Structures are given as C-alpha cells and as structure tokens.
Chains A and B, each alone.
Chain A
Amino acid sequence: MNNAAFLVIAIVTLAGALAAATLPKLIHAALCLIVAFVGLAAFFFFLGAEFVGLVQLFVYVGAVAVLIVFTILLTRRDVGKPDKFNWGGIVVAVAVFGGLLWAILKTPSVAIAAAQIPPLTVKRIGEVLLTNYVWPLQCVGLLLTAALIGALVLVMEEKRR
C-alpha cells in the first residue's frame, strides 16, 4: 500500500471522527461515525490485521452504529433539537493532544521499521483463541451475555400494577 492511500485513509478517518464529534445534529453525527469506523477498519487492513478489520466492520458499522441510530429514534423528541456546543472542552482536548504529541515525538524507541511477518491467518487466530486465550474468551462470552440481559432489563417497560 502506498503513501497516498495511507494519507487518504488518515484524512477520511479523522474527518469522519471530527464530524461525528462536532456536527450539531445527532443523526448526521452517527452517520459520520460510520465513516470514521470504516476508515479505522482500513487501517487495520493496512497493518495486516485483516481479521480485526473485519470484526471492526461487523461490530461497529454493523451493530453499534445501528444501535445508536435506533436509540436516536427512540429518544427522538429530545434529540431533534440541535445540541449546544461547549467550547471549554476544545481547550482541554487540544491540550491533551499536545501532551500526547509531545510524548510520541520525544520517545526515541518508536522509530522502528516494520518486520516482515507471515500473514496472520484466521486459522492461526482461531488456534490462539482456543488455546492461550480460552479463558478470556469464556469471560467475554459471559460478559456479553450479562450485557445482553442487562440491557434488556434496563429498557424493559415497568409493569403497571
């Protein structure tokens, strides 16, 4: 992949994210969020982690974004009004960015070139997932089940007595 493509992906991702964070209408923001996530997935592909990129697409673009849009629909009466923007946050965010930038540029050990590695196949991921990472996998399964039930319980209509 060449540098131009890298640049384009970076610009698309950051622009999408910036739009998602700043657009006044919530529904527009949610759609821009999808763009940002697609860009991020492209980064994962670029880095040779195709599986993570796919998961990112499926989970974020496929599920999370749809969930957000649904929530916007369900809380529409309130969300319709455009959101007031608080400028104080920008100062903090820019300051944090400055701090992080300083830390990245100051650290010498990040100046390394990528090594050649065999492609990371889904088969290999599956093997690792079911050997070294089998307990975290089970825990995440449990967590997802709990989150599913928890979300259901939270949004359940209270019974009228």
Chain B
Amino acid sequence: MNHWIVANLWLIPAIPLAAALSILCLNSSRGKGAAALAVLGQIVALVMAVIAFVPTLQAPGWRAFHNFTWFTFGEQALRIGWVLDPLAAAMLVMITLVGLCIFVFSVGYMADDKNFTRFFAYLSFFSAAMLGVVIANSLLLLFVCWELVGLASYLLIGFWIDKPSAAAAAKKAFITTRIGDIGFFLGILWLYSGSGTLLFYDNGHGCLENAGLLLLGASATFVALLIFCGAVGKSGQFPLHVWLPDAMEGPTPVSALIHAATMVAAGVFLVARVYPLFSAGAIDGVTPSLTVVVSIGVITAVMAALIALAQFDIKRILAYSTVSQLGLMMVSLGVGGVAAGIMHLIAHGFFKALLFLGAGSVIHGCDHEQDIRKMGGLRWLMPVTFLTYAIGMMNLSGVPFFFSGGWTKEEILQATTHWHVSHLPHYLMLVGVVLTALYMTRQMIYVFFGNKRAASTHAHESPRVMTMPLMMLAGCSIVLSIALTPAWPWLHSYLNGEPAHFHIARLIQPMLFVSLALVAAGIGLGWLIYRNVAETDPVEQAQPALFHFLESKMWLDELYDWTVIGLSKMAARLSDWMDRNVWDGLVRAFAGLGQFFGIFSADFDERGINAGVDEATGGTRGLGRLMSALHSGQIQTYLRAAAVSVLALLILYAWLT
C-alpha cells in the first residue's frame, strides 16, 4: 500500500527549492544557467508529480500519508507530515505542468531584464512553496508554506523594485492577505486547543477524521470560518480581493503564476482540504460556515464580473475574471460540489495561465502597451497568439464540448441547483456566465479584431520560446476536457473516490443546453455591442455614470481608504491632538494655576511661593531628565544596570530562603 513516493513526497517541493537556492548563488550574468536550472527543477518536480499520481489510480479514494515527529516540547510532540490523495496528486500535476509552461515562457518574456537570475530564483521558490501547501498533512506545515507563498508573491509582485507602483502593490498584496492570515492563525490555535492535533489524517486521530471532529464539536463552525478568512485573503474573495488586480504590477508570467497555479489556488485548495471541518454536523449538506462560503463566493463572482466589463488594461480584465472565477469555485465548494470546484480550479489553472501568457505575448508584441484601446487588428499579426488566446477565451466563457472550462462550469451550475437553502446563487451564477462571455468577447474584439490602432502598428509575433508554452497549455486544456465530460466524468469520480463509468446518454442533459444558450447569448450580445468598437467604449457612451462606477472598481479602494486606513489615520491624529491639546493643556493649566497662585500671592510672600513653584517645575523637569538619562545610549550603563539587577535578584533570593 505504501508506495516509496509517499515517504519521499517532500522531494517534490524540495527540488524547486534547491533550484531556487542554487540560482541565488549564481552570478547575475549567468542568465541561461539560471533559467536552465529553474526549468530543470520544474521538469524533475513534474516527473515526480506524475510518479506520485500513479499510485492514486490504484483504487478509488486511495489515500496515504507519512507523519513524523518534528520536535518535542515537554510532553507534547509536534508532528507534521505529508499526504497523498487524489486532491493533492491532481493539484501537484497541475501546478508543475502549468508552472513549467510559465517558466519556459518567462525565458522569452524576461530575456531583456537585468535581474533575470533573481526572477527565476523567485519563480522556483514560489512554485516550491505552493507544492508544499499541496502536500502538507498538517495545518501547521500548510500554514508555513502558505506564508512562504505570500512572501514569494510579495517578492515577485514587487519584482521591479524601482517602480513605486509595483512596490506599493507588493505591500498591498502582502498586508491584505495578512489580514486574512490573522484569522487563519487564530483558527489553527483554536483547532489545536480543541482537538489536540494539527494533522489532517492520522489513522483516525487526525483533525479531519471522525474522532477529531467529535472532539471539536460545535466549535468546528468557528474554526472553519476563521480558516476561511485565510482563504478569503489568499484567493482574493470579497472584501479582501483588492490586492489581486493591483498585483498586475508584477511581470506578466508572475501574474500567470499567481492567478493560475499558485497563490490564488491556495485558498480554494485550503477550503477543499479542510472540507470536513466545514461540513461537520451538516443537515442536508448545509452548515452555517458553508453558507458563508457561498455568500462570499456569490458576491465576489458577480461583482468582479461586472467590474471586468469596464476595465481597459488587458491584464486587469483577466485579473477580475480570476476573482470572479474564484468566487464561482467558492460557491461550488459551499454548495457541496467539492469535486466540481477543484475540477474548475484545475481547468482554470490551465486556461488562465494560457490567457495570461497570451496577454504577455500581446504586451510583448506591442512594446509593453497594456491598454486594449490602443491595440486592435492583431489577429493577422500574431496568429499563434490569437488562436491560443481564442481557445483560452472559449474555456473561460464556458463553451462546452471541446473546452474543459465549459464542462467544469456546467458541473458547478449543476451543483448549485442541488442547494436547498436558496436558488439565488444558481441564478446569479447564470448571470455570471453571461457576463463572463460578454467581457471576454469585448476584450477579444478590442485586442484582435477591428482596425489597427496606435500600439499595434508595429506588432510582431513572439518568439518560439513564448508561443510553444501557449500551444502546450491550449492543448492541455482541450485534452483535459476528455476527462471532464458528463459521459465519462473521470476526474469527478477520481476526486470523489468513486469508480468512473461511461454513459453516452449523460452527455445530453438540460444544463448543457442552458449553459450553451447563455454563452451564446453572452458572446452574441458582446458582438452586437462591441462590433464597431473604437477608442471609446459603447457602454461608456450609453451609461457614463454606471461605467465610471465599474471602471473605478466600485470605489472599494477609495472606500477602504476612507474607512479602514482613514480610521487608523484618524486614531493617530486623535491621539496626536489629545497629546498636544488635552494632556499638554492639562500640564499648562497646572502650570498656569501655579503661576496665577504665585502672582496672586506675590505681595503676600513673593519669594516663598515663587520658589516653591520653581522647585515643582524644576522637579518635573529633573524627573524627565532623569528618565531620559536612563536611555543614555551608553552600553556600559546598560551593562551596569544588568549587573545590579542580578545582584538585586540574588538578594531577593537570599531574603526569601
């Protein structure tokens, strides 16, 4: 049963990590060596991931783990370990494969950058951290890798450190996700105090197994919600989604990595991993925590899709589409369609990486122009990019049959119909499908159709090293669709731990026609609205106020500026004011009182009173001077204080015994 790969699963993240460390030791002029090392590390990790994938095929629901004691303090032993199950194996393959394509693409995209080696070191590190999240069998190990993912994203979003906006975006990403992580950490503490273990699976004693869940009891809801805070931050869910679009300041391959394979996938993965905590004590598959997940997901999905309609930056549109798709996945997890959510996550990993890399190729071809209003007519100039991008767009819009995104989206829609609490999420998701098709059509028309505009006159197709990964990813997303059809739902059964059966009849079902009609409506509507698009947006002409509202991202950034940031600034200003006016005023009032008293009794005894007041103020001043003298900056004074304290302790001891 226990394959050797289970005990050595740590090698999968360790190899990219080793690659990252050895690249850091390279001289910055060794760009080729750095790229070769990073790509090689990723290839080895991919091979290992495939090897790890094989044993999970043996039997449905196969799961193996390897736990060991990390260290012992007192009577408590802290144990960590790794787990291999269908969820982890599928994610491993997806991350390494998508990562590999992105790495190869970066070789072309970043060729002119002077910090080429540093970039590949960070990329490898990022991938290693994410692989660590996936294999962790302990919430603590997962949290450690989770934070490493955060660090890597900070380093990469702010990769162009001399660009102030990039530095600000990196900071924003780090701090915003940190807000969620506080909740996550509290959840970990609560879970440990409740169940006494942080291991997921431990022969019946893990926190996700029945014994652990019984120990937790009703507090599982709160633990799940706290952990969900972390997922909200990482996966860019409302209200912590604001960092994701700003993360576009990083180089495009980084955006691809963040949005497809690593960072944002971590949040969805986390919810899927600790799903038993969410569903503990479910009645008809509904728990309070899952309802929260659904609500957050619905809000995020619809809001982000609306905002995406009014963006002009090619990468920002994709960023909001990611936010929206992540919301969709959360909804799917929340209504009980765990397999559907993870399937969409995996399919999304492929086609979103494809779209981002395609966008990178467009940006590269248009001399780093990102405004879609300045592009246009690129379909003849960049044929490969156009074709692959179109495949990505079909996937994202949810066109069924040949595109994996279509099948998974249909699966999610199907899952929402089974939710008993309300049908609202189902209808809102249908609206989301139309919106997605609409904004992707808009983007396609702006970028690839119509007349050439300012930036596209000198556009050229990207080199082979960049188009190859595009074709590879496009191929993957099409091939993957075979394993996703309702006729042969292999991936679904694999993730759910059931055997897969072939039924051609299941291919035809009502939801297929519904989603087909919706996608067709979205694309057709988009074609109608945007077919003669020019520099200004048709929607902007028709509804300027609404458009402006969406374009400025529903003013959420400004709202946070006014509320959260404004509040803390206000608190600071208040304490400043208190300090200046109230406390200072009190002191002045006392001094004034003394003065008044002194003057009043001047003829009575001028000298005595005056001297007294002088003495008092002098005393205060002397006390202040004494206090500041404590901080003399003299190392010897501190040392002496330490020695005297030791003596005092000794005397105390002698006195007590």
Contacts and interface: CB of A to CB of B under 8 A. Distances in A.
Given a CB threshold of 8 Å, the question of whether A touches B is answered with yes
B647 A88 contact: no
B514 interface: no
A92 B654 contact: no
Contacts, number: 22
Contacts of B640: 88-89, 92
Contacts of A88: 640
Nearest to A86: B636
Contacts of B646: 96, 99
B644 interface: yes
Interface residues of B, number: 9
B650 interface: yes
A87 interface: no
A96 B643 contact: yes
Contacts of B650: 99, 102-103
Interface in A49-104: 86, 88-89, 92-93, 95-96, 99, 102-103
Nearest to A106: B654
Nearest to A89: B640
A112 to B, nearest CB: 22
Nearest to A99: B650
Nearest to B646: A96
B554 to A, nearest CB: 49
Contacts of A99: 646-647, 650-651
A93 B646 CA distance: 11
Contacts of A86: 636
B107 to A, nearest CB: 33
Contacts of B647: 92, 95-96, 99
A69 B650 CA distance: 37
A93 B636 CA distance: 13
Interface in B74-131: none
B610 to A, nearest CB: 37
A85 B125 CA distance: 55
A93 B643 CA distance: 8
A93 B650 CA distance: 14
Nearest to B640: A92
B655 to A, nearest CB: 12
Given A89-B640, A92-B640, A92-B643, 8 more contacts: A92-B644, A93-B643, A95-B643, A95-B644, A95-B647, A96-B647, A99-B651, A102-B654
Contacts of A103: 650
Interface in B613-657: 636, 640, 643-644, 646-647, 650-651, 654
A92 B651 CA distance: 14
Contacts of B636: 86, 89
Contacts of A92: 640, 643-644, 647
A95 B636 CA distance: 16
10 contacts: A86-B636, A88-B640, A92-B643, A92-B644, A95-B644, A95-B647, A96-B646, A99-B646, A99-B647, A99-B651
A96 B639 CA distance: 13
A149 to B, nearest CB: 14
B50 to A, nearest CB: 36
B487 to A, nearest CB: 59
Nearest to A92: B643
A92 to B, nearest CB: 5
A102 B651 CA distance: 10
Interface in A123-141: none
B21 to A, nearest CB: 16
A86 B650 CA distance: 25
A92 B647 CA distance: 9
B307 to A, nearest CB: 47
A95 B581 CA distance: 48
A99 B643 CA distance: 11
Contacts of B654: 102
B513 to A, nearest CB: 67
Contacts of A96: 643, 646-647
A88 B643 CA distance: 12
Nearest to A95: B647
A49 B647 CA distance: 32
Contacts of A102: 650, 654
A105 to B, nearest CB: 12
A114 to B, nearest CB: 28
B477 to A, nearest CB: 48
B584 to A, nearest CB: 37
The 9 A-B pairs with the shortest beta carbon distances in the complex, nearest first, are A99-B650, A92-B643, A99-B647, A92-B640, A95-B647, A96-B643, A96-B647, A92-B644, A89-B640
A99 B644 CA distance: 11
B25 to A, nearest CB: 14
A103 B650 CA distance: 9
A84 to B, nearest CB: 12
A41 to B, nearest CB: 27
Contacts of A89: 636, 640
A118 to B, nearest CB: 35
A96 B604 CA distance: 55
Contacts of A93: 643
A103 to B, nearest CB: 7
B629 to A, nearest CB: 14
Nearest to A102: B654
A83 to B, nearest CB: 13
Nearest to A88: B640
A10 to B, nearest CB: 24
A147 to B, nearest CB: 20
Contacts of B643: 92-93, 95-96
A102 B653 CA distance: 12
A68 to B, nearest CB: 19
A88 B651 CA distance: 20
Interface in B435-491: none
Most chain B CB within a 10 A radius of its CB, from A89, A95, A99, A103 = A99
A88 B644 CA distance: 12
A103 B647 CA distance: 11
B136 to A, nearest CB: 26
A87 B606 CA distance: 44
A95 B643 CA distance: 9
A93 B644 CA distance: 9
Contacts of A95: 643-644, 647
A126 B109 CA distance: 56
A89 to B, nearest CB: 7
A88 B607 CA distance: 39
A97 B160 CA distance: 58
